[in-house]
Chain A
Amino acid sequence: MGLALLAIIWVITLVSTYFFAAKTWWLPHGASASAPWIDGQFALTYALMGVVFLAAQLSLGYLVWKYRDRPGAKPVEYSHGNTRLEIIWTALTAVLFIGLNLMGGRVWAAERFAPAQPNAVPVEVTAMQFAWYFRYPGADGKYGPTSPKLVDPSSGNEAAIGLEPSDPASKDDVVTGTMYLPVNRQVDLTLKAEDVIHSFFVPSFRFKQDAVPGLAIKMHFTPTEIGEYELACAELCGLGHYKMHGVVHVVSQEDFDKWLAAREAEKQ
């Protein structure tokens, strides 16, 4: 029985570790400025926790086999523990856990505490059951006002977010169902939700943020590679949650300008 236990615990441990170590399934390819930092911290955490995982599981399997009750086994050592070991263990764990945490804090702070750069491209995201709308403020750099009374999801785009068409600031606003971003330029994101909570999740950007009704949440990130990236809703928002997805197109600055100009033209 001791051997069977040792075998099952070791096999589970080694197989689990293999799939982590071989990166059979791993974080998707990173394509934003913060991705390398986050992946680095992930790898570090993974290495440290992996060592603890192996040490704890393998010794659990070994100890139950080694100290199994059998004829001729050594008598039990009567002991209530060892305070010194206890203190060493506590201190080591505390240093490991809290140290890891402090290292990761730097990345968090860089993305969230500082405001977006002045040359960042402003995009407002509005989430609703079960669609995403993206608004670009146009040449004036100002988002036009919206009104809940004007919201008409069935008409899509401008009407879906309830844009006041008569306001001068609204004239050049572009609202679309697909997101285009210029590469290597910071995105000054404003996240809003019409009805319930949604979450803007682009795995390749290592970016996720809830969109909460009643709040306009400001965030920023920088895509670094041209390509198409999938956006998925990560917060349960109702029966269509699973299909509330979209594609983020990261293109060159020229292509971005061309695309935006074409949308402006379409609107007139």
Chain B
Amino acid sequence: MVAQEAHGSSGHGAPQGFIRKYVFSLDHKVIGLQYYFLALTAVFVGMFLSLLMRIHLIWPTAVLPLVGDIKPETYLSLLTMHGTIMVFFVLTTAPQSGFGNYFLPIQIGAPDMAFPVLNMLSFWTTFVAFIVIIAAFFVTGGAPLHGWTGYAPLSALKNSGPGEQLGADLWITSIAIFCLASLMGALNFITTILDLRAKGMTLMRMPLTCWAWFVTAILGLLAFGVLLSAGILLLLDRNLGTSFYIPLVVVNGQVMGHKGGSPLLWQHLFWFFGHPEVYIAILPGMGVASQLLSTFSRKPIFGYKAMVYAIMSIGILGFVVWGHHMFMSGMSPYSAFAFSIMTMCIGVPSAIKTFNWLGTIYKGRVRFQTPMLYAIGFVSLFVSGGLSGPFLAQPVLDIPLHDTYFVVGHFHLIMGVAAIFGMFAGTYYWFPKMFGRMMNETWGRVHFFITLAGTYAIFMPMHYLGMAGQTRRYSQFTEVAYQTKLIPLQTFITFAAIITISAQVIFVINLFWSMFKGPKASDNPWEATTLEWTTATPPPHDNFGGVTPVVNHGPYEYSVPGAPKDYVMQTDPVTVTTH
């Protein structure tokens, strides 16, 4: 594939007027920020829901302001909405659509995304999806209680519980709309990377962030289509009397008019999307961590090619492991072998990445600015969350651990908090470029240390709970004797959660205060090498002010022998030999 020369301009002039500039904008930078702030809103909604859940688990009779008292079904609605909002509107939205939209075109030297109108449309479609899911809280019966995985027939029958009426319809409609938006976004990302790279920006000179966004977009294109179809079938089952997922069932003595459907079909379709989704959430974080570890260690990334191949193999293997969510589902026990082996295989490229991150720090000169702290935290969380994977990937160990807090601890560390650390790293790192000012370092550090210790205090004990057999999605632990003994550990987790969630206020204040009052940032405050640091801060409408960048070097040329500075920018003329 030959890198093409980018167009000289974005194809659309700088917009005039508030609406065209900030609301229905075609500029990928504005759209990136819109996605970012949508995700920021969503993350606070999601976090608030988790806070209510933690409070209810420990003080079940507490009557809370705004919320009232929490019933068992309310608890299940909270966990459903927490999971759905976090996975779709935070983990999928900020790292890929937010940062990707803003920085992908700039990092490859393009004036905008390939299809600016489609880009605007995909943001506003996502926005509609968010409104629809929030609406589910306010309809009769409230939000659905079937969990973010929405297993049929619980999710397919209107009388299986409170929240399963209109709330569940809104839930699945929101997801379907989100899928449409993500398909548009994925198409745009892939086209942009293949067609709009600047002269000299070969694929193997792209920053690893771009590789991550590229592979994530391919995953999104292949996965969201399946979820969209699965969601439409679920809507048909719920409203038009079809039986895709519902066999002959009797709910509370009432024979339902369905027969012949397969509850396992939903699980296959859902996880065919659901597992790649895990990588959609985490790959951009891996890209950011790679970028930052190299930049702040002042050393080229260890094994660039291995990193690229690792991202690609994670992308490919990510599509053949979905069955590891279904070892206990009644699926053929023979197929468990195949899924299990493939799952163990996907651990290998993940391990390579960890090794290379450590190799990047080794013999470097590490600078501890806040973005780097978060990148280091990302590696730590990725290791911790990753190593519980080989337990769950073995069907025989999944028997005691499946659907326990062990799983909750595992996926929160790796796809939840590690991905969030990727976003924090990205925020602290790119903030100066986006807003032209620096964030406060001291408060950044305070925020980092509380958040790192806090997340471990929340999620590490969940592994212990899971080993002891504590089942997830229980609104109370008072009914089962062996589970009652574990309540003290649950109490500890709740206190850790209250502290950690409160500490996020530091971040929000730092973010908004620095936006207006932070010290002015130079064009390249971190002395980094990639293209976004060659242009003005914040970047002009067409990103490079009419200039078309020409790339002469790889993305991570730090401490090159013979170079005048300790970094060689990608656009620097060829005066020193780099690799």
Same complex: yes
A76-B253 CB under 8 A given contacts A38-B396, A209-B330: no
For residue A240, CB closer than 8 A to chain B, the reply is yes
In the complex, what residues of A have CB within 8 A of residue B390's CB? Answer: 45, 49, 97, 100-101
Q: Are A197 and B263 closer than 8 Å at their CB atoms?
A: yes
**Would you give the shortest CB distance from B425 to chain A, in whole angstroms?**
14
For residue B391, CB closer than 8 A to chain A, the reply is yes
Q: Are A196 and B366 closer than 8 Å at their CB atoms?
A: no
Residue of B at shortest CB range from A92?
B351
The 8 Å CB contact of B302, one of A59, A80, A201, is A80
Q: Are A241 and B333 closer than 8 Å at their CB atoms?
A: no
In the complex, what residues of B have CB within 8 A of residue A177's CB? Answer: none
For residue A242, CB closer than 8 A to chain B, the reply is yes
**Would you give the shortest CB distance from B501 to chain A, in whole angstroms?**
19
Q: Encode contact with B along A14-36: 1 for CB under 8 Å, 0 otherwise.
A: 00100110001111100000000
Q: Which chain B residues have a beta carbon within 8 Å of chain A's beta carbons?
A: 71-73, 76, 145-147, 151, 153-154, 157, 160-162, 246-253, 255, 260-264, 297-304, 306, 328-330, 333-334, 336-337, 340-341, 344-345, 347-348, 351-352, 354-356, 358-359, 361-368, 373, 376, 379-380, 383-384, 387-388, 390-391, 393-397, 399-400, 402-404, 445, 449, 452-453, 456, 460-461, 463-465, 467-469, 471, 473-477, 479-483, 486, 489, 558-561, 566, 579
The 8 Å CB contact of A78, one of B262, B464, B560, is B560
A104-B402 CB under 8 A given contacts A63-B362, A151-B250: no
A232-B452 CB under 8 A given contacts A76-B364, A129-B160, A152-B253: no
* Cα A12 to Cα B379 with chains together (Å): 14
Q: Which chain A residues have a beta carbon within 8 Å of chain B's beta carbons?
A: 1-2, 4-5, 8-9, 12, 16, 19-20, 24-28, 37-38, 41-42, 45-46, 49, 52-53, 56-57, 59-60, 63-64, 67-69, 73-83, 85-86, 89-90, 93-94, 97-98, 100-101, 104-105, 107-109, 112-113, 128-129, 148-149, 151-154, 162, 191, 194-197, 199, 201, 203, 206-210, 212-215, 217, 230, 232-243, 245
**Would you give the shortest CB distance from A96 to chain B, in whole angstroms?**
8
Q: Are A93 and B352 closer than 8 Å at their CB atoms?
A: yes
Q: Are A212 and B330 closer than 8 Å at their CB atoms?
A: yes
* Cα A212 to Cα B329 with chains together (Å): 8
Q: A26-B468, A242-B477 are in contact. List 19 more A-B contacts (CB 8 A).
A: A4-B449, A8-B452, A12-B456, A27-B467, A27-B468, A38-B396, A49-B388, A64-B366, A78-B559, A82-B359, A86-B306, A93-B352, A100-B394, A148-B250, A196-B153, A197-B151, A203-B400, A209-B328, A213-B248
In the complex, what residues of A have CB within 8 A of residue B250's CB? Answer: 128, 148, 151, 162, 194-195
Q: Are B489 and A25 closer than 8 Å at their CB atoms?
A: yes
In the complex, what residues of B have CB within 8 A of residue A238's CB? Answer: 73, 76, 145, 154, 160-161
In the complex, what residues of A have CB within 8 A of residue B456's CB? Answer: 12, 16
Q: Are A69 and B367 closer than 8 Å at their CB atoms?
A: yes
Q: Are B160 and A214 closer than 8 Å at their CB atoms?
A: no
In the complex, what residues of B have CB within 8 A of residue A24's CB? Answer: 464
Q: Are A56 and B383 closer than 8 Å at their CB atoms?
A: yes
Residue of A at shortest CB range from B395?
A108
A215-B362 CB under 8 A given contacts A69-B298, A151-B255: no
Q: Are A1 and B363 closer than 8 Å at their CB atoms?
A: no
Q: Are B482 and A1 closer than 8 Å at their CB atoms?
A: no
Residue of A at shortest CB range from B400?
A206
A235-B394 CB under 8 A given contacts A80-B303, A93-B352: no
Q: Are B480 and A42 closer than 8 Å at their CB atoms?
A: no
Residue of A at shortest CB range from B306?
A86
5 pairs, CB–CB < 8 Å, chain A vs chain B: A104-B397, A148-B255, A201-B471, A214-B262, A214-B263
**Would you give the shortest CB distance from A29 to chain B, in whole angstroms?**
10
Residue of A at shortest CB range from B243?
A214
A239-B145 CB under 8 A given contacts A86-B303, A108-B396, A234-B403: yes
**Would you give the shortest CB distance from A61 to chain B, in whole angstroms?**
8
In the complex, what residues of B have CB within 8 A of residue A206's CB? Answer: 399-400
The 8 Å CB contact of A97, one of B145, B347, B474, is B347
A208-B303 CB under 8 A given contacts A236-B151, A238-B154, A242-B72: no
Q: Are B480 and A230 closer than 8 Å at their CB atoms?
A: yes
